[in-house]
A and B are shown apart, each in its own frame.
Chain A
Amino acid sequence: MAQVGERESEELTLVTTKPYFDLPTACPLCLPLFIYLKLAHFPFRLSFNSIFPDSDQIPYVESGTYVAYNNENGGVIENLKRDGIVDLDSEFQSVPDWVAMKAMISSWLADAMMYELWVGSDGKSACKIYYSDLSWPIVKVLFLKQVYSVKQHLGITKDNAEQREDEIYKRAKIAYGALSTRLGDQDFLFDDRPSSLDATFLGHVLVTLHALPETSVLRSKLLEHGNVVRYAEKHKTKLIESSSSSSGPQFRSVPSSSTPKRGPSNWSSKPKSQPKREKTEGEKTFKRRARYFLAAQLVVVLLFLSLMGGNDAGDMELDDEDEGNAFD
């Protein structure tokens, strides 16, 4: 058991938010990283943290004592490149077009996604993606905090709200047009080879198509580019849905109320029949011992109360020794 645990901890593990909307993770920051590792054919396990939606550390990858957080050195993909673990961009770094497209995706499209999730739509999609495992008082407060923070980041005030919205959608439309032209009918954006740009763009497109509501303005602008939609669905089938039938991590979009908090038990690719038998026996023994322990506690308390002749539950205890000294 310990050896399996150690092996598991040495394997690269990607920690993201939970799956939703038929995607392995519906968070627009986490999905690109998932796709990047898939495009690089790098084996990894998937694990979830569903109680820290406002963390800037998530997504992160870990292997043993090595951890690459999202809020360090420009992101996890940059960390993986820097640490020599995975690098799909070695030949593209100096291509001007590539750099420009990257800047456009990481600013205009990222801003548009942030706006649409938290401000542009009714927020239901965002709540499902990030808050499905949290209690409603916490959800309410975190949601309001996040909306405020997004508005601050995008410079939206009461006076310029409409104007900013137009600007954001206009930029997104320009970006979609440029990327659609760049893509054409190819499999990938550059040189028919995958890069981190494909991972980031695919992540954005898949979340826009599957997570945002049908009334979303951003979604409707994206649907105007058929080749981009086909590109995304094709890769989704290849990377995400085909991997679910192989030995890779399993996922399924499930209603939140029945989703357990801890992901790894859902994602194990080991056959379940044998461990399940042991687990039942062990569980029975543990339950029995727990019952004995609690019963022993109860017996001790009851014995104590009866033998020591516990006092009444009175508020005040006077010193009875002096009672009626003069009156005896």
Chain B
Amino acid sequence: MSNPDSVPDLTPPDSERQKPFDTSEIDEEEDNGGDENDVEDDDEDEGGNDGVFRGPNRPKPQSREARFRSEKLKMESLLQRMKTGPVSVRVHDVIIKGNTKTKDHIIEAETEVLNNVGSMQELLKASQIVNLRLQALEIFDSVKITLDSGPPELPGTANVIIEVVETANPLSGQIGAFTKAEAGSSTVEGSLKYKNLFGYGDLWDGSLAYGYDHSTELSAGLYLPRFEGLVTPVTARAYLLSQDWLKFTSYKERSMGLSLGLFSSEHHDVAYNIAWRTLTDPSQVASRSVRRQLGHNLLSSLKYTFKVDRRNSTMRPTRGYAFFSTTQLGGLVPNNRSLRFLRQEFDIRYVVPLGFYRAALNFGVSGGVVFPWGNGFSSKPSSLPERFFLGGNISPVCALGGPTALWGFKTRGLGPTEPRRQVNDGTADPSGVDYLGGDLAFTALADLSFDLPFRWFREKGIHAHVFACAGNVAKLTENEYRNFSVQKFVESLRSSVGVGLVVPTSFFRMELNYCYIVKKFDHDRAKTGVRLTFSAS
């Protein structure tokens, strides 16, 4: 990144420039591998203050040393003036060079901040912002911003010259690991990206993801930074997703859909999703509730996410707070032939630093509710995939977004169950149960993390933690809300405590924990013992 504070590296002035007056050039160059990030400052014309910087024309070339001294003097003088107060300047023109494929308006859209600058300081800061924004488009190999003096007849102005180098190789690939909080597991994803196919800053990508919960997703996406003058980028993603829940709930889910990112900013995100979802049971042992839900459904929903994350780290938070809220409304078609539901979940985290051994107390509370809407909604069941399922092999510390994981409980390992179909195949094995999830879910966690008193562990970031968590899910639909009471819900909270070692790596956070199940119910899949969890960022 450019750093206007560093000592400038003076280079001879550009011999092609023929200026009628002396200008001092302050070059700063910092090589960062492939990315160049230069900010060159030219001294600007100061209206009414000509004394120091504008001298008479000198047709005779000066000696190199004399020039060097003169420029250094001017630089120091400028810096001195900038230290004492704002140096008034405004941007006259923004000149864009180097873009052969990329449309001008894409680059110009990122330079709007330059129009409002009133001083040298603001101009430097704005240039930095523009540089970051252009690099964030991911379609340029390097971005160089030069500040030049404006036309001589307009004193106190500057021209901003943006030189971009478009990516030589538009195709790139990557493999990464991610945590899918709602599925309670991690995924490994490989993707190919093609940048700037049509010159609109468009990013095309195709990806294949495989999750540890037997899910596979094939998707293709498009990212448009500026679409028809919209304020925020537009993303579109077409996907084919297959998830196998046969082991836990006797159904397989296959979805084919399109997801549109309508609005996205640091805290807010609005997305629309339309999908054709099919639930099948090839094993033919599903319980009654699951059998009733097998078939095809059209999903047409709007999802709004609000998030604030002021923690200092997602892998090992030691101070700060976070708040997530997701609201999803399904059934956005003119008739009643799509899944109608309203789903709301939230997650609150608060981390208190304790000041010794980098210890921190991490508190979290999360909850969610889902119910169908429309005629007779209270007697209808909620859609299976939209329900809340607790348990999984990810750490609750990293699973942010809603009630999902609990230490010690396996995937979909707690909550209402229903006996599966009895198959008379001669064996005496019981057919097992289906975990149906719940319409109302709640989890709470408390985690004390601290460094170990061994330098090697500290250097590697390996630390220990002591934790406790509790959670529960309940059914509210099909008139079950009449039997619901907060007291019963609290009395049937499952809970666990434990201690463990946390190993953060660059790809994921691994925890080796000993969990003790304090409270569980008959069919819950949870066991006291050692468990390993993996959570990606």
Contact = CB atoms under 8 A, between A and B. Distances in A.
Contacts of A138: 276, 296, 298
B266 A326 contact: no
B482 A315 contact: no
Contacts of B369: 293
B interface residue count range (under 10 / 10 to 19 / 20 to 34 / 35 or more):
35 or more
Given A51-B296, A55-B280, A65-B421, 13 more contacts: A49-B291, A51-B295, A52-B294, A72-B284, A134-B298, A260-B375, A260-B376, A265-B376, A314-B265, A316-B133, A326-B79, A326-B83, A327-B82
A interface residue count range (under 10 / 10 to 19 / 20 to 34 / 35 or more):
35 or more
Interface string B137-160: 000000000000000000000000
A133 interface: yes
Contacts of B280: 55
Given A9-B288, A313-B266, A326-B4, A318 B306 contact: no
A91 interface: no
B492 interface: no
Interface in A296-328: 297, 300-301, 304, 308, 310-311, 313-318, 322-328
A135 B83 contact: no
B378 A325 contact: no
B72 interface: no
A165 to B, nearest CB: 30
A120 B408 CA distance: 59
B481 A297 contact: no
A69 B280 CA distance: 14
A95 interface: no
Contacts of B344: 293-294, 297
B325 A317 contact: no
Nearest to B348: A300
Interface in B177-192: none
A74 interface: no
Interface stretch (B10-18, B48-56, B333-341): B333-341
B132 A135 contact: no
Chain A interface, DSSP helix/strand/loop, else mixed: loop
Nearest to A257: B335
A246 B309 CA distance: 63
Interface stretch (A28-36, A227-235, A278-286): A278-286
B393 to A, nearest CB: 30
A301 B419 contact: no
Interface string B298-337: 1000000010100000000000000101010000010111
Interface in B424-471: 431
A62 interface: yes
Contacts of A325: 5
Contact of B133 (A52, A315, A327): A315
Contacts of B346: 297, 300
21 contacts: A9-B288, A50-B295, A55-B280, A55-B294, A55-B295, A62-B291, A64-B422, A65-B287, A67-B284, A134-B337, A135-B335, A257-B336, A279-B378, A282-B378, A304-B323, A311-B267, A315-B136, A316-B136, A322-B5, A326-B5, A326-B82
A62 B268 contact: no
Nearest to A133: B337
A55 B282 CA distance: 10
A310 B419 contact: no
A72 B174 CA distance: 46
A80 interface: no
A69 B284 contact: yes
B105 interface: no
A313 to B, nearest CB: 4
B363 interface: no
A237 to B, nearest CB: 32
A42 interface: no
Top 5 closest A-B pairs, CB basis?
A: A52-B295, A51-B295, A313-B265, A135-B298, A65-B422
Contacts of B338: 135
Interface stretch (B121-129, B206-214, B499-507): B121-129
A7 interface: no
Nearest to A283: B378
Most chain B CB inside 10 Å of its own CB: which residue of A52, A282, A322? A52
A316 B128 CA distance: 11
A304 B308 contact: yes
A121 B327 CA distance: 46
Nearest to A54: B296
Contacts of A137: 276, 298
A58 to B, nearest CB: 9
B265 A324 contact: no
A85 interface: no
Most chain B CB inside 10 Å of its own CB: which residue of A62, A324, A328? A324
